[in-house]
Chains A and B, each alone.
Chain A
Amino acid sequence: MSSVVFKEVNKVFPGVDGHPGSHAVKNLNLSIAPGTLVTLLGPSGCGKTTTLRMLAGFETPTDGQIVMEGHDITTTPVNRRGIGMVFQSYALFPHMSVRENVAFGLKVLKLPQDEMDRRIAEILDLMQLSPFADRAPAQLSGGQQQRVALARAVVIAPKVLLFDEPLSNLDAQLRERMRDELRMLQTRLGITSLYVTHDQSEAMAISDRVVVMRNGVIEQDGSPTDIYARPRTAFVAEFMGKANILKARLLRVEGKQAHARIAGGDIVLPLEDVSPAPGDEIDCVIRPEQITLSADGALTAEIQRVVFQGGYAEYLVNLDGQRCSIVDYRQHSHGVRAVGEMLRFSFADAKPWPLAPQNPAL
């Protein structure tokens, strides 16, 4: 049984003062298995935050049902849901110490004092916050504040834990560390979690399952590896990371495989969701890192732009009128190429993935 189920949930924000309303979430169906972390991923305005806030109880669905552990909680008030939440701004109570922040939810539960003290000490210890227990939030670093927010949310032993872009206020290095800490805590406590972010690398690193949303609709739903390797649409392909979307001409179909050619390079496409015929042109995704630079490659193209990224160099080439990005992780040994040089490469190692025809409605 799933911990959380959204059934046909819609959310319409009515227009105010002449502003048009918006249909933020459309016929959403989603279930979250117990103990797993599911991430809602998408650009701003895709409905991911609205979905999270409906589960929290800050928004009420216009239509549909939300079920948590078998109970319909669609209209249950926020404070009776037993959900924990970590906010983007942390939302620590600025007039309370770290300890008082953590104790707040326990006091509402009216736990006996010794039980309360024990749980506070435990979580502060776990989060390495014990030395700061009597400080005000303003006296803590960003990472420490983040940990207090997390401690405050999990100390009440919530049924579900919600994360609203919790790492977006941290700088890049700290963000990765907190991301790992967060995931470790979540797996250790086994709390069912819903996580919202617009950062695809964060989503892939932290999730059991990623749900990509766009314009209020789920675009794709699957494991991080699955979504990265087998995107259903160009939107998902590009949102999940750098993607070359190239037109391939189908040569012949053999069962679940198709042989095709892109600008003189031969590829083999798996046919699972699509069923094209020979002669068709089909969009397929080839990630930049799948293209092999080699002196005996079948393809050549002139470098039009070079972006040096430290760990690798990225070259942009024009492949029969199509933009194509190629990354070179070996630039430290043979040097970064210059604009105008010819690049030789092949699709020998590529795992191209065919895209379903674009839905014109989106």
Chain B
Amino acid sequence: MAASTNIVVRSGITPLAYRVRSIMADPWLFGIFVLISLSVLIFAILPILSVLKLAILGQEGFDPAAIISNLSSSMVWRAFGNTLLLGATSAAIATLAGFALAFAVARTSMPGKRFVHAVALLPVISPPFVMALAILILFGRSGLITRELLGIRNSNIYGFHSLVLIQVLAFTPIAYLNISGMLQSLDSALEDAASSLGASQWTIFKRLTLPLTVPAILSSVLLVFVKSIEDFGNPMVIGGNYNTLAVEAYSQLIGYFNLEAGALLASLLLLPSLLAFMVHRYWVSRKSYVTVTGKPGVQKIRIVSPFVVWPLTVLCYGLVATIILFYATVVAVSFTKLPGIDWSFTIDHYIGVFSAGLRPLQNSLVLAGIATPITALLGMLIAYILTRRKFPGSSVLRWGTLLSFAAPGTILGIGYISVFNTAPLLLTGTAAIIIAAMVVKTLQVGIEAGSNQLRQIDKSIEEAASILGASNTRTFAQVTLPLLKPAFFTAFAYAFTRSLTTLSAVIFLVSANWSLITVTILNQVETLRLGLAAAYCVILIAVVLVVLGLMQFALGRVANRG
């Protein structure tokens, strides 16, 4: 067949002419595409490039000596090494824990699975440093366990070990969700087939289940790694002398007003993050053996042997108990007068929040409330444009949004203050800059959810609308978008939770007028007003839970109607 493909085009429909026609067929969509691409260029690509430029060229022009002096500082390399070590350790342990949880829930007869599942998801919806706050209260110098229970006077909880523990607790859910999704979509007929061929449970696990879940395991390792090195709140609160790049970049910039050093550190942070992301996208995700059919297979519980179930159960419940202990601690402390000194009950902290400190919460809700619908709608639009239409230059959009997701919040934050500091893009100190950061940081999840959903929607449904005379714009609005509803809500929930609980990017962008709740909590923790910080955390978690619950309710009603 290859030989016959060289036919001469005679009647003059060149590919270019056809492309122009396809654009003219729906000018609206193309206009939106151009607008979105420009926005992505300005709000995602430009800030990151400007940080890289700052790191290399500096503010006064290219100065190799300055770069070398910055690079040769032991502080930089220690932070770099610390960040990688923390990321690798957290990724390894969290993935192991996530696998154990996922396997126990999906494949064994462990009791209380629903409970384990629910608790394991709690860290996903809470602000990043709730864990840090809890560990400080429990194991700190005047900690509940260290001092009150064990009588240890000089316990030092700051540093690597605490950070690993906290990050493992915070990021295990990511690994858990990832791996259990894969386990659930593995056709259990495969395991039945192996069983009928005489394989033992152990052989099935070793030769079938484990190899088939390798893509999910690798993907968890990489995702947790990226999350860990990006983490700002926990290392800030509990890192002590164990400096990471995100924290160091922040203190260089805010503490010493050294923009170039901050930019350099942030650029170093981008490197491993981007690398991990590329490996994930172009290697791991291509190794996946699972085909998305959109219908979950019936899973049979086949492992009931007490020698497997009980150790796994103990492990899972240990993890669950620790998570509950940490959250309960935060709730308890929010009702405690002066943790460590006066343990009596009080609601003063809540009165404090509601009388004087409600403003940051309102700000967070308003800004996240604006950013969320924008993100969800944009996510669906971009997913549609990228998977269903072939506009010239759509790679800008694809790579821009990917880059913004892979880039740690720190580099985005620094990029924003350096790009949007001057006219015509003078946005520093406004609400708009925070909203933009929230949208850019959470957009990719909506795009992924939308693209996955689109792949499961029969293309001929949209073709049917076209041939019935609907323009592409009409087809998108009346057929595609309604069918994307589940992905839309996923994007909505993710964007809202992340925007409310985000810290690493927005900490550079808050101003006197627009302070956010996460930043306020961090300030309270740093000034050791732990009761107040805990009260804020509890309120924040409650708000997120209520909003997610309302959404679930709304979605349920929509589904019932249909």
Contacts and interface: CB of A to CB of B under 8 A. Distances in A.
A62 B9 contact: yes
Contact of A109 (B7, B469, B474): B469
A85 B7 contact: no
A74 B25 CA distance: 15
Interface in B1-21: 1-2, 4-5, 7-11, 13, 17-18, 21
Given A12-B5, A93-B461, A78 B13 contact: no
B452 interface: no
Given A81-B467, A88-B460, A91-B458, A20 B7 contact: no
Interface in B466-482: 466-472, 474, 478-479, 482
Interface string A77-97: 111111111011101111100
Given A63-B10, A63-B11, A64-B11, A93 B467 contact: no
A22 B5 contact: yes
Nearest to B18: A60
Contact of B7 (A63, A79, A93): A63
25 contacts: A14-B5, A21-B5, A22-B5, A23-B1, A23-B5, A26-B4, A57-B467, A60-B18, A63-B7, A63-B10, A65-B11, A78-B467, A79-B470, A81-B467, A85-B467, A87-B463, A87-B464, A89-B458, A89-B460, A91-B458, A93-B464, A93-B465, A95-B483, A104-B478, A108-B468
A85 B462 CA distance: 12
A61 B12 CA distance: 11
Given A79-B469, A79-B470, A83-B467, A91 B5 contact: no
Contacts of A56: 463, 467
Given A60-B18, A63-B9, A75-B18, A156 B464 contact: no
B562 interface: yes
Contacts of A57: 466-467
Contacts of B461: 91-94
Nearest to A13: B5
A349 B488 CA distance: 68
Contacts of B466: 57-58, 78-79
B467 A79 contact: yes
A92 B479 CA distance: 10
A174 B490 CA distance: 40
Nearest to A158: B467
A65 B479 CA distance: 31
Nearest to B457: A94
Contacts of A108: 468-470, 474
B1 A22 contact: yes
Interface string A21-36: 1110010000000000
Contacts of B479: 93
A198 interface: no
A313 interface: no
Given A20-B2, A64-B11, A75-B21, 10 more contacts: A20-B1, A22-B1, A58-B466, A63-B8, A63-B9, A79-B467, A79-B470, A80-B469, A87-B464, A93-B465
* Residue of B21, B460, B469, B562 contacting most chain A CB atoms (<10 Å): B469
Nearest to A7: B11
Contact of B468 (A61, A65, A156): A156
B25 A77 contact: yes
A58 B464 CA distance: 11
Nearest to A83: B467
Contacts of A80: 469
Contacts of A22: 1, 5
Interface residues of A, number: 44
Contacts of B472: 79
Given A64-B11, A91-B461, A23 B4 contact: yes
A314 B483 CA distance: 51
6 nearest A-B pairs in the assembled complex, by CB-CB distance: A105-B468, A108-B469, A91-B460, A91-B464, A78-B466, A87-B460
Contacts of A75: 13, 17-18, 21
Contact of B467 (A15, A60, A84, A94): A84
A230 interface: no
Binding site secondary structure of chain A:
loop
A20 B474 CA distance: 35
Interface string A101-133: 000110011000000000000000000000000
B240 to A, nearest CB: 50
A23 B1 CA distance: 7
Contacts of B465: 93, 104
A152 interface: yes
A152 B468 CA distance: 8
Contacts of B482: 95
A10 B471 CA distance: 27
A260 to B, nearest CB: 37
Contacts of B464: 85, 87, 91-93, 152
Nearest to A56: B467
A262 B21 CA distance: 61
A60 B478 CA distance: 25
Nearest to A14: B5
B5 A20 contact: yes
A316 interface: no
Nearest to A21: B5
A94 B482 CA distance: 10
A88 B460 CA distance: 9
Interface in B438-497: 458, 460-461, 463-472, 474, 478-479, 482-483
A91 B463 contact: yes
Contacts of B9: 62-63
A302 B479 CA distance: 63
B7 A62 contact: yes
Interface in B331-368: none
A136 interface: yes
Nearest to A58: B463
Contacts of B468: 79, 84, 104-105, 108, 152, 156
Interface in A271-319: none
Interface string A42-66: 0000000000000011101111110
B390 to A, nearest CB: 12
A95 B562 contact: yes
A87 B462 CA distance: 11
A47 B57 CA distance: 58
A65 B13 CA distance: 10
A106 to B, nearest CB: 9
B270 to A, nearest CB: 29
A173 B469 CA distance: 34
* Residue of A14, A56, A85 contacting most chain B CB atoms (<10 Å): A85
B167 to A, nearest CB: 38
A75 B20 CA distance: 11
Given A21-B5, A95-B482, A108-B474, A60 B469 contact: no
Contacts of A77: 21, 25
A94 B483 contact: yes
Contacts of B11: 63-65, 74
B182 to A, nearest CB: 26
Contacts of B8: 63
Nearest to A78: B466
